[in-house]
Amino acid sequence: MKTARVNILLPTDFSDNAWSAAVYAFKLYADKECTFYFLHSNLNRTKTVSNITKALLSTIDEKAIKELRELKEMAEVSNANANHEFEIVLSPEKLLKAIEVEVEKHKIDLVIMGTRGSTGTKEFFYGSNTVQIINKMRLCPVLVVPDEYDFIEPKQIAFPTDFNRFYDEKQLEYLKHFADLFNSKIRIVHIKTEKQMDEIQEYNYAMLKTHLEDYNFSFHWMPDYTKKVEEIHIFIEDLKINILVMINYRHSLIESIVKEPVIKKIGFRPVIPFLVIPD
């Protein structure tokens, strides 16, 4: 991630949850020069209705543009940070496609969004849009912020890993970037599902130490005694973790968590912001 101006995409459906995520973004990057892009995917605009008229489509777009402008004005008034600039984008594409287009167009460094939309329910961790974006976004990292989460400086960052995957410098630069923001400590947690690590795991363990040698980090080993999502929550609570960071690749810890029965039934409830780095 470049160290100069940071470009951040803020998808919004004009819900309180989306605004809460935006406020978190403003505070997280209070000391950085940033351009924030409010993106609204006008889903109604893309639905195929046989008798829809151009006038109605125009009305839908005008309403969305008005709300985007009001959102930008609210951000400028409430944030009042000379380092920050705001832009608005209305897209006729579905949300994932809209995000991908804007990430490439504006060289977006990070997508920051809420866990659920205006029609979401508190019983579920992620709305369907958020789940899709986490699973399919490959162009840049996504930071998911829990609903109504009060900003806390992320002094403690958790980075769960099974050591089965070699992490290159590009993937780890986002982890380092977040550590640099507040001189944070990186807590690397491994849930032991094996009696001892194999040669590949040992190599990746050693390389991770080398990559992070200039950072304040520590390793933590947890026995595999319950569901992974519960173990991570325990770890977050015990060490007062402020941000959870994972790299999303095939057969990764994220994939195994999402497949757990508890996730399919009630969702992975958020307690802190969750940064997903694409493979």
Is the predicted pLDDT of residue 127 greater than 60, yes or no? no
pLDDT at 235: 84
pLDDT at 253: 53
Identify whether the C-beta of residue 223 lies closer than 8 Å to the C-beta of residue 231: no
Which has more pLDDT, 59 or 10? 10
The residues near 225 (Cβ < 8 Å, ≥ 6 apart) are 231
Which has more pLDDT, 214 or 167? 214
Is the predicted pLDDT of residue 272 greater than 70, yes or no? yes
- What is the C-alpha separation between 265 and 263, in angstroms, rounded? 5
Question: What is the token pair recorded at 196?
Answer: 């001892």
pLDDT one-digit tens code per residue, 129-186: 676 777 777 889 999 898 888 899 999 999 988 888 888 888 899 999 999 999 999 9
* DSSP category for residue 201: H
| Model confidence band, residue 55 (pLDDT cutoffs 50, 70, 90) | low
Identify whether the C-beta of residue 261 lies closer than 8 Å to the C-beta of residue 120: no
- What is the C-alpha separation between 183 and 207, in angstroms, rounded? 22
Over residues 251-277, the mean pLDDT reads 58
In degrees and rounded to multiples of 5, residue 15 shows phi and psi of: -85, 165
| Model confidence band, residue 125 (pLDDT cutoffs 50, 70, 90) | very low
Q: Is residue 191 domain-shared with residue 266, that is, in the same domain?
A: yes
Identify the domain containing residue 49 by its residue range.
Answer: 6-145
Among 112, 114, 89, smallest CA distance to 20 is for 114
Is the predicted pLDDT of residue 48 greater than 60, yes or no? no
Is the predicted pLDDT of residue 119 greater than 50, yes or no? no
Q: Is 93 exposed, middle or buried (0-12, 13-18, 19+ CB in 10 A)?
A: middle
Of 145, 179, 195, the residue that ends a domain is: 145
pLDDT at 267: 42
Which has more pLDDT, 123 or 130? 130
- What is the C-alpha separation between 172 and 208, in angstroms, rounded? 9
pLDDT at 250: 62
- The total of structural domains in the chain comes to 2
Q: Which residues pair with 85 in a beta bridge?
A: 35
In degrees and rounded to multiples of 5, residue 237 shows phi and psi of: -70, -45
pLDDT at 123: 37
Of 84, 118, 145, the residue that ends a domain is: 145
Torsion of CA 141, 145, 146, 150, to 10 degrees: 150
Q: Is residue 17 domain-shared with residue 40, that is, in the same domain?
A: yes
CATH, residue 113: 3.40.50.620
